[in-house]
Amino acid sequence: MKIRFAGLEDAEDLFRWRTDPATMKFSLSEEKIELGSHLKWFRESLANKKRVIMIAELDGEKAGMVRFDETDDKSSVISIAVSPEMRGKGIGTELLGLGCSTYLKNWKNKTILATIKKINVISIKLFTRCGFKTRSEDDEKIVMGLDDEKTRD
Ligand SMILES: CC(C)(COP(=O)(O)OP(=O)(O)OC[C@H]1O[C@@H](n2cnc3c(N)ncnc32)[C@H](O)[C@@H]1OP(=O)(O)O)[C@@H](O)C(=O)NCCC(=O)NCCS
């Protein structure tokens, strides 16, 4: 798997992955997204220094995305999606591991946080397998975190 920064040429794939029914169901915001507002959001995202979007490619084919949003000087929030037709083949596991290690190596933040709906059991399994630990939870959501190894006690 290769991982690279997203560019404008990825706008439509990201839109397709973001609006697929499973992603919508498990997203924290289930609001319908139009292509126009997505393109505006994506252009702004590419210029946003506190946001990093990476694309995974397998044999030259786009397989998924991982996004990091810096929330303060210590932590960033992650979001991940695999191309719908490529799910369930271990791509999410590889992408999450590679994305987090690349991010922690190159940016100053030390903790990556994910907020996951409890009904999204595949994601909870995925983040657990990649070393994320539960930080807090309520009836609907669970917050999981991964600390940079260098800063772990
Ligand atoms: C969540 C997502 C990124 C996982 O990516 P993936 O490539 O499908 O995941 P993997 O194939 O690496 O599988 C991860 C784990 O889930 C399990 N799994 C995958 N698909 C499954 C399915 N349909 N049913 C049951 N378990 C499944 C795998 O067995 C694996 O568990 P294991 O580590 O115990 O073997 C992907 O399904 C996706 O894009 N979903 C929509 C968006 C989303 O939910 N994003 C996360 C929001 S927090």
List pLDDT tens digits, range 12-25: 999 999 999 999 99
User: What is the whole-number distance in angstroms between the Cα of residue 95 and the centre of ligand 1?
Assistant: 11
3-class secondary-structure state, position 77: strand
Supply 105's token pair. Answer: 């190596």
Closest C-alpha residue for ligand 1 atom 16: 122
On the question of pLDDT at 75 being above 60, the answer is yes
On the question of pLDDT at 110 being above 90, the answer is no
On the question of pLDDT at 78 being above 80, the answer is yes
Ligand 1 proximal residues by C-beta, below 6 Å: 22-23, 26, 80-82, 87-93, 114, 116, 120, 122-123, 125-126, 129
Confidence of residue 152 (pLDDT cuts 50, 70, 90): very low
What is the pLDDT, as a whole number, of residue 115? 97
Q: What is the CATH number of the domain that holds 59?
A: 3.40.630.30
The stretch 48-59 carries a mean pLDDT of: 96
User: What's the whole-number average pLDDT of the chain?
Assistant: 93
> Domain residues for 145?
2-151
At CA 147, angle to CA 141 and CA 151, rounded to 5?
155
What is the pLDDT, as a whole number, of residue 72? 87
User: What is the whole-number distance in angstroms between the Cα of residue 120 and the centre of ligand 1?
Assistant: 9
The stretch 136-153 carries a mean pLDDT of: 83
On the question of pLDDT at 153 being above 50, the answer is no
Closest CA to 109 of 143, 142, 151: 151
Percent of the chain with pLDDT over 90: 84
If one counts the domains in the chain, the total is 1
Distance CA 71, CA 122 (A): 25
Using the atom order of ligand 1, give the atom closest to the CA of residue 117. Answer: 48
